[in-house]
C-alpha cells in the first residue's frame, strides 16, 4: 500500500532543496563581494595605521621633549563625548 502523503512530501523536499541551493548560491556571491571590498579597503587600512602610529610617535616625542603642554595632539576635533577623555582612554 502506498503512502498517500509520500508524493506531497517528495514535492516539499524538492522545493526545500531547490531553495537551499539558491540560498547557498546567494551566500557564495555575497562572500565574493565581501572579499572584493576587503581587498579594496586593504590600502586604506594600512594608511590609517601609518597615520595613527605617526600621530602617536609625534605625541610621545613632544611629551619627552617637554613641548607638549596639555592633552593629546588632536588632528581634528574629538568626537562628541570624548573631549574629556585622555589619549589612552580613546584607544
The cell numbers describing 10, all together, are 517528495
pLDDT at residue 34 in the model: 97
Label each residue of 20-85 as H, E or C.
HHHHHHHHHHHHHHHHHHHHHHHHHHHHHHHHHHHHHHHHHHHHHHCCCCCCCCCCCCCCCCCCCC
Q: What is the pLDDT of residue 36?
A: 95
Question: Is residue 91 predicted with pLDDT exceeding 50?
Answer: no
Q: Give pLDDT, residue 64.
A: 86
Amino acid at each position: 500500500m502506498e503512502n498517500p502523503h509520500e508524493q506531497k512530501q517528495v514535492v516539499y523536499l524538492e522545493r526545500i532543496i531547490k531553495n537551499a541551493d539558491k540560498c547557498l548560491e546567494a551566500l557564495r556571491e555575497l562572500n565574493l563581494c565581501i572579499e572584493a571590498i576587503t581587498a579594496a579597503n586593504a590600502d586604506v587600512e594600512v594608511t590609517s595605521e601609518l597615520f595613527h602610529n605617526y600621530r602617536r610617535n609625534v605625541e610621545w616625542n613632544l611629551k619627552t621633549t617637554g613641548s607638549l603642554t596639555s592633552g593629546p595632539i588632536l588632528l581634528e576635533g574629538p568626537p562628541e563625548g570624548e573631549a574629556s577623555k585622555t589619549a589612552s582612554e580613546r584607544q
